[in-house]
């Protein structure tokens, strides 16, 4: 607005533009975001590179705006500077939204896209917070309750976009695998704790069940008597009998848990290396993300089942988890073997690991 004196009404117009162009259209509406049509074409660049650039711009403009909006600096003589930074945020946001359709070209994993979606919804929340701050500022220049919060929210979004841009498909998958590896680490700790004193762990569980049984109402006790008669053989097991059944399973399970964590960490190191694999498909990466999460979840369920063992426990109680884990592991290994730096590479580690895992125990 060259040559025009910037007044408060002009700032109000920009605030209204944010509400009508972004919040009204896209706030909490991923369908609308996914249906954005854009003619944006990149030359000698890529969506992730542009996302990083926009992140830097938004961080810079929001920082400057945050400084100007301080009560001591939000004065009429600074309206022009306020207008400039707010307009720059709007322009950059327009370009950001026009960039989003370029991510829908099957070159990005569902994991990356879901993180991008989450960051965009969070960014819209930050814009809404900014509008509230501006509304309050227009009515009372001394108001300063949400300035730092809304600017901090924008910074957080910029951090998300920087991370997405830096990590890309492989890096984001590696971070996801790291979380599963940490869950497997927790499972390892639980297994080791159990093996240190299996009698105490199972005994505590049985004592809990006895206490629970004693606290039931008489009507419930009548029902339990019927159940007891149907399970006389099962309930005749002593603590020693249960330990004798469960302990060998847990010892074998410990071997497999260690191997699972080794697989997760080793593959994560491969895709995070300075020279990562180049032969893979997006579908492979999507499948890997689903598989490692499923394996970690099943491993946790398996361990919980052992911890919950009582007089009725049999090896059939863990069949579902072991079958699921073994199926997912085979699928994961099949994909890992296809992910290479070059076509001639042979994944010896995966072959050796596979032999150890499936020959390590009868589970």
CATH number for position 113:
1.20.1420
Is 173 contained in some domain? no
Nearest Cα neighbor of 151 from 181, 124, 129 is 129
pLDDT-wise least confident of 50-64, 147-161, 314-328, 348-362: 348-362
pLDDT-wise least confident of 4-8, 30-34, 67-71, 249-253: 4-8
Residue 239 has a pLDDT of: 83
Q: What is the mean pLDDT of residues 110-134?
A: 97
Q: Are 98 and 36 in contact (CB under 8 A)?
A: yes
Question: Same domain for 156 and 210?
Answer: no
Question: Same domain for 214 and 308?
Answer: yes
Q: How far apart are CA 250 and CA 201, in angstroms?
A: 12
Question: Same domain for 210 and 84?
Answer: no
Is 191 contained in some domain? no
Last residue of a domain, one of 128, 147, 167: 167
* Per-residue pLDDT tens over the stretch 208-248: 445 554 455 554 555 554 444 444 444 456 888 888 989 99
Range of the domain at 70: 8-167
Judged by DSSP in three states, 285 sits in: helix
Q: Provide the 8-state DSSP code for 21.
A: I
Is 189 contained in some domain? no
* Per-residue pLDDT tens over the stretch 132-168: 999 998 888 888 878 889 999 999 999 999 999 999 9
Question: Same domain for 289 and 243?
Answer: yes
In whole angstroms, how far apart are CA 14 and each of 6, 122, 225?
Answer: 12, 20, 74
Residue 3 has a pLDDT of: 61
In whole angstroms, how far apart are CA 76 and each of 5, 18, 87?
Answer: 10, 22, 17
Q: How far apart are CA 99 and CA 36, in angstroms?
A: 9
Last residue of a domain, one of 120, 145, 167: 167
Q: Are 253 and 306 in contact (CB under 8 A)?
A: yes
Is 220 contained in some domain? yes
Is 140 contained in some domain? yes
Q: What is the mean pLDDT of residues 314-335?
A: 93
Q: Are 350 and 333 in contact (CB under 8 A)?
A: yes
Question: Same domain for 130 and 219?
Answer: no
For residue 173, pLDDT beyond 90: yes
As a whole-number percent, the residues of the chain with pLDDT over 90 amount to 66
For residue 267, pLDDT beyond 60: yes
Last residue of a domain, one of 146, 167, 188: 167
Question: Same domain for 154 and 265?
Answer: no
Q: What is the mean pLDDT of residues 323-334?
A: 96
For residue 356, pLDDT beyond 80: yes
Is 3 contained in some domain? no
What's the pTM? 0.86
Question: Same domain for 19 and 163?
Answer: yes
In whole angstroms, how far apart are CA 95 and each of 38, 61, 90, 180, 267?
Answer: 10, 14, 9, 36, 36
Residue 347 has a pLDDT of: 79
Question: Same domain for 274 and 157?
Answer: no
Residue 334 has a pLDDT of: 95
* Per-residue pLDDT tens over the stretch 180-193: 999 999 999 999 99
Q: How far apart are CA 295 and CA 86, in angstroms?
A: 48
Number of domains the chain contains: 2
Q: What is the mean pLDDT of residues 66-91?
A: 94
Question: Same domain for 13 and 151?
Answer: yes
Is 293 contained in some domain? yes
Question: Same domain for 149 and 206?
Answer: no
Is 301 contained in some domain? yes
pLDDT-wise least confident of 55-59, 70-74, 195-199, 342-346: 342-346
116 by Cβ neighbours in 10 Å (0-12 / 13-18 / 19+) ranks as buried
3-class secondary structure for 77-133?
HHHHHHHHHHHHHHHHHHHHHHHHHHHCCCCCCHHHHHHHHHHHHHHHHHHHHHHHH
For residue 113, pLDDT beyond 60: yes
* Per-residue pLDDT tens over the stretch 1-60: 556 788 899 999 999 999 999 999 999 999 999 999 988 888 889 999 999 999 999 999
Question: Same domain for 334 and 280?
Answer: yes
Question: Same domain for 202 and 340?
Answer: yes
């Amino acid at each position: 607005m060259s040559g025009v004196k910037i007044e408060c009404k002009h700032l109000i117009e920009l605030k209204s533009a944010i509400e009508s162009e972004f919040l009204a259209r896209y706030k909490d509406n991923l369908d609308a975001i996914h249906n954005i049509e854009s003619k944006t074409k990149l030359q000698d660049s890529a969506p992730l590179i542009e996302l990083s650039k926009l992140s830097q711009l938004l961080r810079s403009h929001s920082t400057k705006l945050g400084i100007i909006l301080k009560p001591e600096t939000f004065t009429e003589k600074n309206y022009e500077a306020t207008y400039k930074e707010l307009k720059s945020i709007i322009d950059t946001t327009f370009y950001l939204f026009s960039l989003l359709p370029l991510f829908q070209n099957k070159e990005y994993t569902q994991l990356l896209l879901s993180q991008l979606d989450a960051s965009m919804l969070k960014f819209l929340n930050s814009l809404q917070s900014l509008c509230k701050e501006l509304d309050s500022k227009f009515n009372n220049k001394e108001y300063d309750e949400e300035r730092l919060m809304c600017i901090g929210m924008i910074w957080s979004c910029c951090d998300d976009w920087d991370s997405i841009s830096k990590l890309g498909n492989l890096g984001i998958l590696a971070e996801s695998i790291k979380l599963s590896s940490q869950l497997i680490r927790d499972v390892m700790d639980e297994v080791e704790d159990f093996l240190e004193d299996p009698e105490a762990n199972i005994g505590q569980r049985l004592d809990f069940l006895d206490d629970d049984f004693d606290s039931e109402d008489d009507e419930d006790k009548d029902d339990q008597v019927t159940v007891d008669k149907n399970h006389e053989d099962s309930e005749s097991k002593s603590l020693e009998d249960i330990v004798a059944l469960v302990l060998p399973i847990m010892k074998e399970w410990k071997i497999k848990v260690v191997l699972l964590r080794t697989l997760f960490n080793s593959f994560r190191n491969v895709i995070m290396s300075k020279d990562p694999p180049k032969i893979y498909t997006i579908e492979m990466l999507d499948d890997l993300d689903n598989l490692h999460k499923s394996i970690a979840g099943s491993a946790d369920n398996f361990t919980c089942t052992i911890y919950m063992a009582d007089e009725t426990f049999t090896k059939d109680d863990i069949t579902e988890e072991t079958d699921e884990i073994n199926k997912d592991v085979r699928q994961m290994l099949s994909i890992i073997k296809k992910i290479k730096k070059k076509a001639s590479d042979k994944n010896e580690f995966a072959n050796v690991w596979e032999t150890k895992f499936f020959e390590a125990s009868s589970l």
